[in-house]
Amino acid sequence: MAERFERERPALQPLPKGRYDTAYQQMRMVDASAMIEVNGSRYSVPGRLAQQSVRIRITLDGELFVYEVSGTEAMQPVAMHRLAGRGGMQVIVEEHHAELWSRAMGEKASVAARELTVYEEMLA
């Protein structure tokens, strides 16, 4: 063993200063409802990213990080989720969809308020 080490010593290099990133990374397309699909489950992202590409990063600890793809490519995630245990799940952060709801409802949209007696008369 020592002989082999001495033969290989000249080819050895110092370890990198930072940790090696073992996370899985890939691009995803955000759908119109500001969701991405990962391993059969759907996860919310901020509404402003609807129908845009994002970069995802999945750690060995089961955490999902979503990054906006832009010219500056800031390393701050725009969304973070814990991976769902199985496919078919939806993981939604309500704040992600607030912008979509306000756009869909319009600024002046409101819910009509009626007395319950109106409905009671309809059923009678």
- Sign, CA dihedral 78-84-90-94, equals negative
Q: Residue 117: what pLDDT? A: 78
Q: What is the pTM of this model?
A: 0.69
Instruction: For residue range 13-70, list pLDDT tens digits in order.
Output: 998 888 888 899 999 999 999 999 999 999 999 999 999 999 999 999 999 999 998 7
**Cβ atoms of 26 and 8 closer than 8 Å:** no
Ranges of each domain in the chain: 21-105
Q: The tokens of 118 are what?
A: 């109106």
Contact 79, 66 (CB under 8 A): yes
What percentage of the chain has pLDDT greater than the value 90? 57
